A and B are shown apart, each in its own frame.
Chain A
Amino acid sequence: MPLLEVNNLNKRFGGLQAVKDVSFRVEPGMIKAVIGPNGAGKTTLFNLVSGFLMPDSGAVTFDGRQLHGQGPHRVAAAGVSRTFQHIRLFAHMSALENVMVGRHVLSSSGFLAGMLNLPRTRREERDIREQALATMEFLGIGGLADAEATSLSYGQQRAVELARALAAEPRMLLLDEPAAGLNMRETADLAKLIGRIRDRGITVLIVEHDMSLVMNISDEVVVLSYGEKIADDRPLAIQRNPDVIRVYLGGEDA
């Protein structure tokens, strides 16, 4: 059974059909990529899956549960964690605190427990801190824990955002253009890292511009063009697909 199933998804903004009848599946343990030229509808598709947008029609099913129309916090609680194309770290909070927010879905202390600071609450808080720190160490950024998150370098901020998403111990990780703004060396490191994340049993869906990254790490690739899916195959087959080549390199008339 696929972990994520997207069926006939449609989304229209005014006169623009941003996503048109898109369907695909992500099997557990796989790295799946969504690529396409600018304006192909990748980010819209991503936001539909993560609950940031409501589809006009169609369905998103995660592990048999309906995700569409649920809102981001329910998608997160279902075990789907995401990063953002434009880094969205929490200002005025340390890197560690940012990552600790990632464990929100795995903890439960509410307003009353927080105000009364009961022993159970203190235990949970200690656990959140330790696990968040462990996640940062897994990504090799344990030394940044006490730095103010938004004061870090671009690459470090990307790593903190990834740590925050991983701290939720998701079953599926959604990465929105994680290589944007990284140099070739950093991109290569990122590829290794995504591989390690998959080795922890986390399924990865990645929207990406950088072809070398996608072709290196993905098990399967979905290609979008003008909101429609034009291919869904293994990377090698995608590279030989005439429709894909036409979209990326221009067709006979180019």
Chain B
Amino acid sequence: MPGARAKQIAALFAAVAAVQLLTAMTGKAFYLTQLTMTAYYTLVIMGLCMLMGYAGQLSLGHAGFFAIGGYTSAFLTTVDLTAGKSGPVISLLAKLSVLTSRPDLYGGQVLTVQPWAAFVVALAITVVIAFAIGVPVLKLKGHYLAMATLGFGTIISSILLGTQRFGAADGISGVPAFTLLPGVVVTGGSSHRVMNYYIAWGLVTGGMLLLMNLIHSRVGRALRSIHGAEDAAGAMGVDTARYKLNTFVLSAVFAAVGGAFLTHYNGGIGPSEASIMKSVRYVAIVAVGGMANLWGVLLMSAALNFLSLRGYFGTFDDAVFGGILILIMLFSPEGILGADLRGMVKRALGKNA
């Protein structure tokens, strides 16, 4: 029902606003920083939820797509093109106002790619790479697919770590603010905190609306049918290979948007964003949220990412997500929200209950 969907989206927005008001009233506005970062990680996880929960395909490489988005934006908006200014390509780009001249950290002037242009390029690169990886890899099933996507994540991670131009182990810093519209700027710093909280969660809300629409459409039904019985879906005319591929690319784009925005927000990005443990974390959150349950996944992502970013898990941060994954797979493959809690208690108490 479209009416129910609109209500859910409105409820999400109300919750977002309520949290902001709560932090303002309790004097904890500094929480908004982690909540903003949480929103960008949630974008990755929402896309992955479509891929895992609805199309039934596992990816252990989505941190790679997050990093591709983030690093492309970071690289293009920080690399100084002044030296090539007289060349035909760069002067043409400058004329098309793809480039922008701005002061750098040391008071000099640098000529770099304008953030909007960098963002568009980041998404384009992500789409191309996702197609190139997806075509061969999505022919695989089960743990073969998991291993192949793990391989992809490892490659991206090693390339970023081993390339000096991408800052190697330090990553890229000094990434400028991203002016979406006049007055609407993605940037860190406490004066822009509330605005950025709303930009980030506005993206999540918009993304939720798009994905909820998709799930309830002909395409969403086809995806669920692939998950339900792939051969029968094919017999009903669903081009299963293409639908899996498109969902893979769509989820990669969600990851890249999250990566690019978080990079502008943080003013930089490091190679840890591409690490395998990040991919495992995303998978764990989709699993704990109930796989084919966008709202459950959203809720779990908001809670766990926030706790993690606030440092509640301490040095066990990665271990917590590994542990969550093990526990969910063992006891509640339907996720926490879909769990048959009474049944679990009964089983745990044994025959006497």
Contacts and interface: CB of A to CB of B under 8 A. Distances in A.
Interface residues of A, number: 41
A81 B213 contact: no
A71 B231 CA distance: 11
A124 B221 CA distance: 14
B213 A101 contact: no
A107 B218 contact: yes
B214 A114 contact: yes
B87 to A, nearest CB: 37
A76 interface: yes
Given A52-B231, A93-B228, A73 B218 contact: no
Contacts of B224: 90, 92-93, 97
A234 interface: no
A121 B211 CA distance: 15
Interface in B217-244: 217-222, 224-225, 227-229, 231-240
Contact of A72 (B228, B234, B250): B234
A97 B235 contact: no
Interface string A211-251: 00000000000000000000000000000000000000000
B20 interface: no
Given A111-B214, A111-B219, A121-B217, A89 B237 contact: no
- Chain B at the A interface: mostly helix, strand, loop or mixed? helix
B246 A111 contact: yes
Nearest to A115: B210
A75 B292 CA distance: 30
B237 A122 contact: no
Contacts of A72: 231, 234-235
Contact of A90 (B213, B214, B225, B246): B225
Interface in B273-296: 292
B182 interface: no
Interface in A147-195: 164-165, 168
A88 B218 CA distance: 19
Contacts of B211: 115
A125 interface: yes
Contacts of B108: none
B217 A101 contact: no
A114 B243 CA distance: 13
A75 B217 CA distance: 23
A110 B211 CA distance: 13
A131 to B, nearest CB: 13
Interface string B233-275: 1111111100000100010000000000000000000000000
A50 B231 CA distance: 11
Given A109-B218, A111-B219, A115-B210, A90 B232 contact: yes
Contacts of A81: 235-236
Contacts of A109: 217-219
B237 A111 contact: no
Nearest to B220: A114
20 contacts: A73-B240, A76-B235, A88-B229, A89-B229, A90-B228, A90-B232, A92-B292, A93-B225, A97-B221, A101-B221, A101-B233, A111-B246, A111-B250, A114-B214, A114-B217, A115-B210, A115-B211, A115-B213, A122-B2, A168-B236
Interface of A: 50, 52, 71-73, 75-77, 81-82, 84, 88-93, 97-98, 100-102, 104-105, 107, 109-111, 113-117, 121-122, 124-125, 128, 164-165, 168
Interface of B: 2, 210-211, 213-214, 217-222, 224-225, 227-229, 231-240, 246, 250, 292
Given A81-B235, A82-B235, 17 more contacts: A50-B235, A73-B238, A76-B236, A84-B231, A90-B228, A93-B225, A101-B221, A101-B222, A101-B236, A114-B214, A114-B219, A115-B211, A117-B2, A117-B213, A124-B218, A125-B218, A168-B236
**When A and B form their complex, which 5 residue pairs have the shortest distance between CB atoms, in order from nearest?**
A114-B217, A90-B228, A76-B237, A105-B237, A72-B234
